[in-house]
Chains A and B, each alone.
Chain A
Amino acid sequence: MLPKKVKKRASLFTVFLSISVIGVFLILSALNDNILYFNSPTDIKIKQDIDYEKKIRVGGMVKKNTLNINDQEIKFIITDFKNEISVSFKGTIPNLFAEGKGVVAEGKLKDKKFFVADRILAKHDENYMPPELKKIMEDSNAK
């Protein structure tokens, strides 16, 4: 048996909290496209109204054996294992940037298959392990 005042405050609070949960949910779902930090190549393929002047970010994996570094530029293909986009970039790359690793490129689309980046960020995955173990894993994969 709770006193009447406590009950009143509890119900007031419940109403307040449910309203704010709904409010936050509505705001987040309205902002959904803007909260996404990057688009995958598949997102870009589906997208109808692409603004070629606007800066966007494309993210995915650097496809194996496609990284091509020469004096002028770095070229590679971003893949999400369904669709691909080729990227060309001039500038410095972060330490963790490598083939088969995650990457986010910032820049402009030339067309749906070609992207000119002016900034490259490496995306780290959630795996942490000592180097010896990685070697053992690679060896067992090779066999």
Chain B
Amino acid sequence: MLNFFYNSNLFNWIEKLIKFINSIFFVLLLISLSFALIFSPPDYLQGDSVRIMYVHVPSSWIGLASFTFLAISSILSFIFKIKNLKLIIKSIAPIGLMFTCISIVTGSIWGRPTWGTFWVWDARLTSMLILALFYIIIIAIHKYIYDEEKANKISSIIASVGLINIPIIKYSVEWWSTLHQPASIKIMGNTTIHSSMLMPLLLMFFVLILYCALIFLMKYKTEIIRIKKKNLKRL
């Protein structure tokens, strides 16, 4: 069973998974994009600018989820010193940063016509910007500190501080008065988004998750190759 986690076995599995995701990704992307951009109805108030939501909301979710994942792996790797976790952290950080930035940029583009401004310093927007900064710091640590043991230690400490930011982002719209609207999709209670708009949203979320998985596996593969190359040099 433990054999599975050795990098050479993992490598073959990753190759197969990448091929599989590649085969279905573009078809699914086309389907969900056409639902989001063409077949779904415009909003009663915002008109067609509601379509930005189909990218904005899933990107924010992914930005938050990948930081949670990254922080938990950092903590586990700090406590248990598992080697594979370090590769996971290095592979997931750029993905999270990308989706956080997409979320901020699409949000600004949406905010200009609806709110009347690109940016305000309210609790939700500011905490999201802080999340992006945490990602940048973690990526920079892994890039510029060559001592891997040390880089790992510092980045786990920073990631665990960043983990506190995640519930702050989630509940910022409820704890403080913000310009950003509260969540439409709730785990408990009524969802205030019509099903004809919810369906494309969830489809887009699924497709973007697939895209994340694809990039993640490719990054992970590169990291394994990098380690193997290093060891070869040592020989």
Contact = CB atoms under 8 A, between A and B. Distances in A.
A129 interface: yes
A38 B178 CA distance: 7
Contacts of A9: 78-79
Interface string B157-186: 100110010001000000011110111100
Contact of A95 (B113, B121, B157, B161): B113
A133 B194 contact: yes
A122 to B, nearest CB: 6
Interface stretch (A16-24, A44-52, A68-76): A16-24
A64 to B, nearest CB: 16
B53 A128 contact: yes
Given A124-B46, A131-B44, A20 B120 contact: no
A35 to B, nearest CB: 5
B45 A96 contact: yes
Interface size class of A (residues with CB under 8 A): 35 or more
Interface string B100-135: 000000000000011111001111000000000000
B194 A124 contact: no
Interface in B19-63: 41-46, 50, 53
A93 interface: yes
Interface size class of B (residues with CB under 8 A): 35 or more
A121 B179 contact: yes
B51 to A, nearest CB: 11
Interface of B: 41-46, 50, 53, 75, 78-80, 113-117, 120-123, 157, 160-161, 164, 168, 176-179, 181-184, 192-194, 196-197
Interface of A: 6, 9-10, 13, 16-17, 20-21, 24, 28, 32, 35-40, 59, 92-97, 101, 104, 119-134
28 contacts: A6-B79, A16-B157, A20-B160, A24-B161, A24-B168, A37-B121, A37-B178, A37-B179, A40-B177, A94-B113, A95-B114, A121-B115, A121-B117, A123-B181, A124-B181, A126-B183, A126-B192, A127-B192, A128-B50, A128-B197, A129-B194, A130-B41, A130-B42, A130-B44, A130-B196, A131-B41, A132-B41, A134-B44
